[in-house]
Amino acid sequence: MNSICLNDLINEVKKYNTNQKDIDLIIKAYNYASFYHDGQKRESGEEYITHPLNVAFILAETHADTDTLCAGLLHDTLEDTKATKEDIEHEFNKNIAELVDGVTNIKDLEFSSVEEVNNANMRKIIVGVTKDVRIILIKLADRLHNMRTLNYKKSNKQREKSIETLEIYAPFAYYLGAYRLYCELSDLSFMYLKPNEFEALKQQRINIKEQYMPLVEEMSYKVSRILNDREIPYDIRIRVKNVYGIYEKLSEGKRLVDIHDLLALKVIVDSVDNCYLTLGVVHSLYKPLNYKFRDYICTPKTNGYQSLHTTVYSGDRFIHTQIRTHDMDKIASFGFNAYWDVQGDTRSVMQKEISDKCQFYTSLKEIDSIFTNNNEFVKSVKSEVFSEKVYVYDTLGNVSELPKGSTIIDYAYRVRGPEAAKLVGALVNDKSVSLNYVLQSKDRIKLIIDNLSKGPSSDWSQIAHTSYAKSLILKNKPTNY
């Protein structure tokens, strides 16, 4: 792997931040970390400082703020050197000291230890995220660099790190919307866990690329020509699905030809209006598969992702197309980290807004407040947060995200809170359904609430799928009659 130096980091930062005070602070953090790690070596034989430097570089690629970059450089000083939190606060600032401390508190899971210890630890990681999302972003960058250099570790360690990455860190990156980190983390883990399958699929991915590339390039050419004529500035990119993504689809039982987004054409334009104009251009050239069209600009995903998705026919093949603005693209690649960059200086407000708006955060907080038992907590997070989702609408078109398997009862508690106890029925797509109806994506739901209702019947807690609904049902036990 090419080694990088301080200058590379500074140049990467300057792509989005040229403030000299910030640059100076980053250099100071680098010197501080170099001083404390002096004499330490990585298993690769390199100087230890190469690790925090790479971590900061990965963060800079995601346009992280200066405190996050400094904390990335300092992230191992509390654990591995004589540096103290007080000293970091004194030399830098409270925020940086808190971030470094937060990262230090996240311990790797010990696979030899009992499950309870691991689950307690996993809970720390998960709850830590709700405090300051930057802690987990530093941890993700840390893990990514460790995964990139995992070949220097013994094979049992490689396996443990890969399992942990695939079970915790990759889902985190995914649900935070940091797709670029997600793809690399999951591909690297997959490579160590199933080397043969990885190699085979990697080869298939190359074949797919060769087969599809002429079609996608032709489409790219046709679309560009029209956008040029209309003087709409654009940027076109071609994306091939990552190896682990292909593996996941295949293990769901899909055939390669059935995976519609193996190759995607990404058109990035300068405004929302031009997104829709570009969509018009694409559909005038290629027929869409209507049921595949998604407007995530109108109804963003709950991790903030926005884009128009359309899958079109190209001969007997399909091409997945994504249309979005530059800001949307940043968020799609880097998640909420980029959100801050896009939004400028209003970060503390954003942090709050993110945790209020993002279902991911709300669910984590709810589950945290419901369970005292760590095993139960981790089990629920896995089944409700790190799991497939359905997206359903109310009669006004507002979207809600719920874990797959949720019923009308879960939906009622999600949107109405304790008032859901008075639920007596529901219409889904204008048809009456029973309360144990399992929600399907795109369902349009109308709840029927009757204030005279006596409250939930005792089997509701069996019908509910989410911890949140269950906890409210149990709080509001039915009266015996």
**Which residues of this protein are in contact with Mn ion, per CB under 5 A?**
76, 142
Looking only at the bridges linking them, the beta strands covering 431-433 and 399-403 are: unpaired
**Minimum CB separation from Mn ion for residue 54, in Å?**
9
Least distance in angstroms from the C-beta of 139 to Mn ion: 9
* Of 188 and 312, CB closest to Mn ion: 188
In angstroms, give the least distance from the CB of 87 to Mn ion. 19
38 belongs to the catalytic site? no
Three-class secondary structure assignment of the chain: CCCCCHHHHHHHHHCCCCCHHHHHHHHHHHHHHHHHHCCCECCCCCECCHHHHHHHHHHHHCCCCHHHHHHHHHCCHHHHCCCCHHHHHHHCCHHHHHHHHHHHHCCCCCCCCCHHHHHHHHHHHHHHHHHCHHHHHHHHHHHHHHHHCHHHCCHHHHHHHHHHHHHHHHHHHHHCCCHHHHHHHHHHHHHHHCHHHHHHHHHHHHHHHHHHHHHHHHHHHHHHHHHHHCCCCEEEEEEECCHHHHHHHHHCCCCHHHCCCCEEEEEEECCHHHHHHHHHHHHHHCCECHHHCEECCCCCCCCCCCCEEEEEEECCEEEEEEEEEHHHHHHHHHCHHHHHHHHCCCHHHHHHHHHHHCHHHHHHHHHHHHCCCHHHHHHHHHHHHCCCEEEEECCCCCEEEEECCCEHHHHHHHHHHHHHHHEEEEEECCEEECCCCECCCCCEEEEEECCCCCCCCCCHHHHCCCHHHHHHHHHCCCCCC
Q: Closest CB to Mn ion among 132 and 376?
A: 132
Nearer to Mn ion, 71 or 331 (CB): 71
- Least distance (Å) between residue 145 CB and Mn ion: 7
- CB closer to Mn ion out of 76 and 366: 76
CB of 434 to Mn ion, least distance (A): 52
CA distance 282 to 134: 38
Least spacing, CB of residue 450 vs Mn ion, in Å: 56
- Measured over all CA atoms, what is the biggest interatomic distance in the chain, rounded to whole angstroms? 75
Q: Pick between residue 145 and residue 414 the one whose CB is nearest to Mn ion.
A: 145
Shortest distance in whole angstroms from residue 138 CB to Mn ion: 9
Of 61 and 76, nearer to Mn ion (C-beta) is 76
Catalytic residue among 38, 80, 273, 459: 80
Token readout for 481 is: 């009659």
- The nearest distance, CB 77 to Mn ion, in angstroms, is 10
In the complex with Mn ion, the residue whose CB is nearer, 108 or 199, is 108
Question: Is residue 79 annotated as a catalytic residue, yes or no?
Answer: yes
Residue 124 or residue 317: which is nearer to Mn ion going by CB? 124
The set of residues, in sequence order, having a beta carbon less than 8 Å from that of 221 and lying 6+ positions away, is none
Whether 69 and 13 have beta carbons less than 8 Å apart is answered as yes
Q: Which residue out of 24, 38, 43, 79 is catalytically annotated?
A: 79
Give the residue carrying structure tokens 């049902």: 473
Residue nearest to Mn ion (CB): 142
Catalytic residues: 79-80
